[in-house]
Structure 1
C-alpha cells in the first residue's frame, strides 16, 4: 500500500529578492532623496528667521528689614506659595498689561503684528470663501494683542518662584525689548496697585481714627463718672480702698490673736511655776525683767560675801547672819516681782482680747462694704475694658495711619518681585535651524523611498515564491508478509448481531489526495501458543492499570498501526476519553479514522500554525478523538520536536488516555514521548519476525522493561455515528 502528500497552496516572501530591489533602484531613491533635501534646504533658507529672548522674574519680598512694618498677622505676609506664584503668571499674561506694553512700544505700527497687512493672496481667498475669518472685522488693538499672545510664553519654572517671560519676533531687538517691557510694566503695576491700596487705607483710616478718638473719650468719661458715683476710692496697687482695708484688718486681727495667745500662754506658765514653787529662772518673762536681773546679781554678790567670810568666821557670827538675812529678803522680792510680771501678762492678754473683739466688729463692717464695692467693681471693670479696647484700637489705627501716610508721601512701596535676568538681543535665530531641517528631510525621504520601493516590489509579486511542501514525498508502505496474510475474499467479516431494517450506509469514499486502494487489515492466523496480547486484552490492561499514555511501535510498517487504532477505539467504547496522536510518516493511523487526512494535525501544532481546537478531530466510527499528521512542513515540525512532551502533557490533562502511534521507532526515538503512567506496546503481525524481535530487544535494552506484543486483528469499520464531526 502506498501514500502521497498534499502540496501547500501558500507562498512565502523572498527577503533576498525583496531587499535587492533597494539596491536595484538606488539611483531613483537617491535622486528623490536629494531633491526633497534640496527643497527642504531652499524652504529653510527662504524662511523668515525668528528670534527668541526671555526675561526672568523672581517673586520675593523686596522690602528692607529696616523699613518693613511689624506684621500684624499671617494675612500681612506676601503670597509666595505655589498658588500665589501661578496667580502672578496670569497677571503677567493679562490683557491690560499686554495692551500697555503694545502701546508703549507702538507694536500696532509694525507689519509683523498686523495680520491684515501681512495677509497674502491665499489668505484673502480663504476669507472670500469663508474658510477664514476676516481680520479687518477685528479692532487693530485686538489684532495686536492676538499676535502678541501667539508669540508670548509666560510660565513658571517648576518647583521655584521664578517666572519666565519668553517672546519671539522677526526683529531680534524687539524680541528682547518686549519681555523686558512686560517685566517692567508688571513691577510698575504691582507698585501702583500697592500705592492705590495704601491711599485707600489712608482715606479709610483718617475718619475712623477721628471716630475712635471720640469713642475713647466717651468710654474714659464713663469710667470716671461711675467711679465717683460708686465711691470707689482707689488705694495702693490700684485696688479699691475697702478691699485694701479688709486685707489690712485681717492681717492686724491675725497678729492680735497671736499676741493674745502668747500672753495667755506665758501667764499660765508663770502662774503654774509660782504656785508649784519651781524655780523662776527658766521663765522668759522673769529672766527678761531688769529688776529681777539686779536682784539676782545682788544674790550672787551676797553668796560670794558669805563664802568669803565663812573662811574666817563661824556660822553664828552676826556678820554672816546679817548677810543671810539679806539673802532671804532678796528671794521674797524676786517672788513679788514675779507676781507683778504675772499680773502684767494677764493684763496684756485681757487687752489683746478686747482689741480682738473690736477688730472683729470692724472687720464685719468692712466685709459688708467690700461686698458692695465688689459689685460696683464688676461694672467698673467692664467699662474700663471697653475703654481699653477702644484705646488699643485707636493706637493701632494711629500706627498704621502714620506708616501709610509716610509711605504715601515718599512713594516707597516696593513690589514683591524683582527682575534678576533681563533679556538680551539674540544673535542666532531659533527658527529655521537649517542643518537639523535638512538632515531630517534627508533621513525621512530616504526612509520613505525605501519603504515605497519595498512595498512596490512586494505588491508586484516579484518577491513572492511558492511555500515549501506541507507533506512528505510518497513513501512505499511495507507490505504484509505473504505467509501470514490471506486473500481479501477469504477474510472473515463479522456479521452484525441484529440485521438492520434498511441496508447500512456504505463507508465514505476517501478523497483523491489520500490513497483510495487502502485494504482492510487482514486477520492474522495465530498459533495456539501465541503469547501476544489481543486488542481487547491490551485495552483491558490499559484500563485496569490506569495508564494515561500508551506508546505503540510498529516495526513491520503501516499495517501494524491498526493495533493503536483498535485499542484506542476499544478503550473509548468503555466510556473513557481517548485521543490518538498519529506520528507516522504516512498517516497510517489516522487514515481509517477520518474521511480525509488533509486537515491540520500534529505538524501544524508543532509549527504553531494551528491551535489545539483546530487539530483535534473526531473518529467517524467511535467516540475516540484523533490528531492526524497534518499539512505543515515536516522538516519545520521536526525542528520543534522538543514541544512534543508539552503537547502530550496538555492532552493528558484533558483526556483519560493518550495513544501515540510512532510507526517504526527505537528506544531513543520514543524517549521524549515517555512520561509518568506510560505503557509501551509493540505491534507484531508475526511471531519470530526479525524486525519485531530487534525492536523488542532494543526497547528492553533502552530501559523499558518487559515489552508487550499486540496482534492487530482484522476489522471492518462500523457505520459512523456522526460523519465529519470535529472535536473542536
Structure 2
C-alpha cells in the first residue's frame, strides 16, 4: 500500500517548524477574509438531522396559535368615509370672493383634518353620545379595580385609577380603537372604529363623522357670527370718524374761499380758477380784436393812397359811399352825353366836372372816416387788453394763494374718502356676515360619501393568517437557530461522514501522525509526517476503507503498472484509478494551514512519469471530492478541449473548460490549447482564475510534472506563489539534486508549507534467528 511517508529535508531548505516559515508577501489573497459557513447543500441534511429541534417548536406554535385565535374575543371594524371639499357656491360665498377660484385642499390640509377628527373635544362628545362610559369594553373599572391594582395603589407604586374621571379613562381605550387616515393621496378621509359589538362599531364611526361635520359647520357659523359682531362694533365708530372728516373738508373749503363751481367741461373747479380762465379768454379775444382793427386800418390807408379805396369791403359796403358812387356814375354819364355836343370849356361841362370832383372828395372823406373808425377801434381794443391783462395778473396771485389751500383740502378730502370707503366696505361685509349668521347658512367643507354599515366578519383575529404566520415564523426561527448553532460549532459535524478540517491547535492533542526523521548524518529536520487516522474509519469513506483493506505490496508495484492501466486526465474523466493511497495524514496537515479565504490550493508536483502523476492526482482528487467540492487543474499537459490557458487568455469560459470525472463529483480542467509559457506571461490572469475557482470549490489541486523543459521549473515557482501548500511526490533520496531544487523553488516562491511525499514500502519481515555454524 502506498502511503505518504516521512522524508528528510534537503539540507538547509526547510523552515524550523512543521508548518514552515512565514511566507513572504504573496501576489494575492493576503487581504481577503477567510471563508466561513456551510454549503447550501448542507442545509437540508442539518435540518434532517435536527428534525426534532425544528418540529417541536413548530407544532407548539401551531397549537398555541390555534388556541389563541379560538380564545381571543373577536373585534369588528366599521369605517365611514368623508370627502373634503369646499361646499360654498357662488351664491353663498361673500361678494369679494365670488370671482375667485376655490383653492384645492392640499395634503397638509388633509393631515390637519385627521388631527381634528382625533381631537379630545370631539372624542368627549362622541363618548357621551355613544354611552361608552357604561360599556365594560371601554371602561373595565365599572365594578372597581382588580385586586392587583388595588394592592399596587395602596403601596403607592401606581396611581389609583378611580382618581381619574371615568370619561378620561375611556379616552385611552377610545383612541386605541379609533383610526383616522387619508386614503392614499386623495382627499378621502377614512374613519375606522373597532369594537367587540359590530353595531357599536358602525354607530361609532357614523357618529364621529357627523360630529366632525357639525364641528366644521359650527366653526364657520362662529366665524361669521364673530365677524358680524366685530363689524357692528366698529361701524358706529367709523361713521363718526367719517362725519368728522367730511366736516373738516367743508369748513376748510369755506374758510379759504375754495367754493367750487362747474366749469365748462362739467368738472368742479374753484371760483378763482374759473375767473382766471374767463379773464384769460377775454384777454385773448381783446388782443385778437385789437390786432384785427389795426391791420384793417393800415390796409385801408395803403389802398387809399393807391387810389383803390373802392376795393376795400368796409368802404364799398358803406351806404353813404355807395350813394356817392351812384351819383358819380350819373354825373359821368351826363358829362359823357354833354361832351358829344359841348366843348370842354363849356360852362355845363365845367359844372359837371366840378360836381364830379366834389363827389370824389366826399368819397375820399368817407374812406378816411372809415380808416379813423378802425384805428379808434384798435385803440379801444388795446385799452381793453391792458385792463384785462392787469385783471389776469391780479387773479393769478389769487389763484396761486388758493392752490396751497387746495392741496390741504385735497388731503382732507382723501382722508374723508378713505374712511367713507372703509365704512361702505364694513357695511357690505356686515350685511353678508349677518346673513350667514345662521346654522344652515354655512355648509361644512366635507360630506359623507360612505356611511359605516354593521360588519359581518371580525377584523381580528384573522384565524388562518395568524395560524399560518405563527407556524411559518417559528419554523424559520427554529431552522435558523439550528443553522446558527452549526455555524458556531464550526460547520457540519461527522454524522454523515463529513470531516471538519483540523485546526493547528488541535494537532498536538489529537496526535494524528508520528514524527519521522532521516537517519542521514546531516542532521535533517522533519518535512512530512504520516500516521493512521485516529479513531474509527467512517463507514462512507470508500477510499480509506480500500486503503486499509488492501494488502501491502512491494513499493514498486504502482510504478511497474503498464501505461495502459494508468488513465490520464481528459475530458472523459478519471476511470480505473486504483484507490490504494492513504491521504489522511496529508489532508490533515494541509487542512491545518491557515488560508486567506476561498478554497484550499495545493500544487502537486510529480517527479516520475505522467501516468504516475495522473494516478496519484486522480486518487487524491477523488478522496477530496468525497466530502467537499474539488477540481483538478493540469498545468503542463494539453488536450483537444479548452483549458486553463484559454481561460487565462480570455478565449474560453469556465463552463467550456470544466469536465466531470465519471463516477465521482470531481471536476477537471486541462491545460488547454495554449503553451505553459502563456501562464508565465499572464501571472495576474492566473491569480484571478484561481481566486474565481476558490469561490466555487473547497479544494483546488494543481498538477505539474517535473521535466527537462526550462518552463517547468519556472511554472513551479509561479504556481507555488498562489498555493497554500506544495506537495512534491518523489521517491528520490533526500539529497537528490532535483528534489532539493524543487523544494528550494517552492520555498522561495512563498508557499506556506512544502511537503515531500514518498511511496512507503512494505513493513520489514521478521527473520527467525538461526545459530551460526562454522563450515567445514
Question: For residue 58 of structure 1, what is the aligned residue in structure 2?
Answer: 83
Contact 1:56/1:421, CA 8 A, preserved across alignment? yes
Q: Distance in 2 between matches of 1:344 and 1:427?
A: 123
Question: For residue 585 of structure 2, what is the aligned residue in structure 1?
Answer: none
Q: Distance in 1 between matches of 2:591 and 2:457?
A: 71
Cα pair distance change 1:419/1:667, threshold 3 Å: closer
Contact 1:54/1:165, CA 8 A, preserved across alignment? yes
1:671 pairs, out of 649, 670, 678, with 678
2:398 pairs, out of 352, 356, 369, with 369
Cα pair distance change 1:514/1:229, threshold 3 Å: same
Task: Note the 1:342-361 alignment, pairs <5 A.
Answer: 342-361=371-390
Cα pair distance change 1:512/1:62, threshold 3 Å: same
The alpha carbon displacement at 1:727 in A equals 12
Question: For residue 461 of structure 2, what is the aligned residue in structure 1?
Answer: 432
Q: Distance in 2 between matches of 1:605 and 1:29?
A: 35
Q: Distance in 1 between matches of 2:496 and 2:195?
A: 53
Q: Give SS of 1:670's match.
A: helix
Question: For residue 198 of structure 2, what is the aligned residue in structure 1?
Answer: 172
Q: Distance in 2 between matches of 1:57 and 1:667?
A: 78
Deviations 1:524-573 (A, max 9, x none): xxxxxxxxxxxxxxxxxxxxxxxxxxxxxxxxxxxxxxxxxxxxxxxxxx
**In the alignment, does 2:423 pair up with 1:394?**
yes
Q: Give SS of 2:191's match.
A: strand
Deviations 1:422-454 (A, max 9, x none): 323223322222232233344435545555666
Cα pair distance change 1:66/1:273, threshold 3 Å: same
1:513 pairs, out of 528, 533, 543, with 528
The alpha carbon displacement at 1:62 in A equals 2.3
Q: Give SS of 2:137's match.
A: helix
Identify the structure with bigger relative contact order (alpha carbons < 8 Å, sequence gap 6+). 2
- TM-score, length of structure 1 as denominator length: 0.57
The alpha carbon displacement at 1:291 in A equals 5.4
**In the alignment, does 2:431 pair up with 1:416?**
no
The alpha carbon displacement at 1:97 in A equals 1.2
Q: Distance in 1 between matches of 2:682 and 2:476?
A: 53
Cα pair distance change 1:54/1:675, threshold 3 Å: closer
Q: Distance in 2 between matches of 1:468 and 1:284?
A: 148
Matched positions, count: 530
Contact 1:12/1:465, CA 8 A, preserved across alignment? no
**In the alignment, does 2:171 pair up with 1:107?**
no
2:214 pairs, out of 188, 200, 219, with 188
The alpha carbon displacement at 1:149 in A equals 1.0
Question: For residue 176 of structure 2, what is the aligned residue in structure 1?
Answer: 150
Which of 30-39 and 229-238 deviates more? Answer: 30-39
What are the ranges of 5 or more consecutive residues in structure 2 without an aligned counterpart? 10-17, 21-34, 343-347, 504-520, 531-588, 602-619, 625-629, 635-642, 651-670, 684-706, 713-736, 753-776
Deviations 1:604-644 (A, max 9, x none): 7896669xxxxxxxxxxxxxxxxxxxx99894566877786
Question: For residue 251 of structure 2, what is the aligned residue in structure 1?
Answer: 225
What are the ranges of 5 or more consecutive residues in structure 1 without an aligned counterpart? 471-505, 516-596, 611-630, 647-663, 677-690, 697-712
Cα pair distance change 1:124/1:359, threshold 3 Å: same
Q: Give SS of 1:66's match.
A: coil
Q: Considering only aligned residues, what root-mean-square deviation do their CA atoms show, in Å? A: 5.9
Task: Note the 1:277-316 alignment, pairs <5 A.
Answer: 277=307, 281=311, 289=317, 316=340
The alpha carbon displacement at 1:221 in A equals 2.9
- TM-score, length of structure 2 as denominator length: 0.54
Contact 1:606/1:643, CA 8 A, preserved across alignment? no
Q: Distance in 2 between matches of 1:37 and 1:443?
A: 9
The alpha carbon displacement at 1:337 in A equals 5.8
2:93 pairs, out of 57, 68, 74, with 68
Deviations 1:21-73 (A, max 9, x none): 65678799678656643542342233322222233333333233223222389
The alpha carbon displacement at 1:726 in A equals 8.0
Deviations 1:229-287 (A, max 9, x none): 33332211322111111122122222322333333334333433433456864x67667
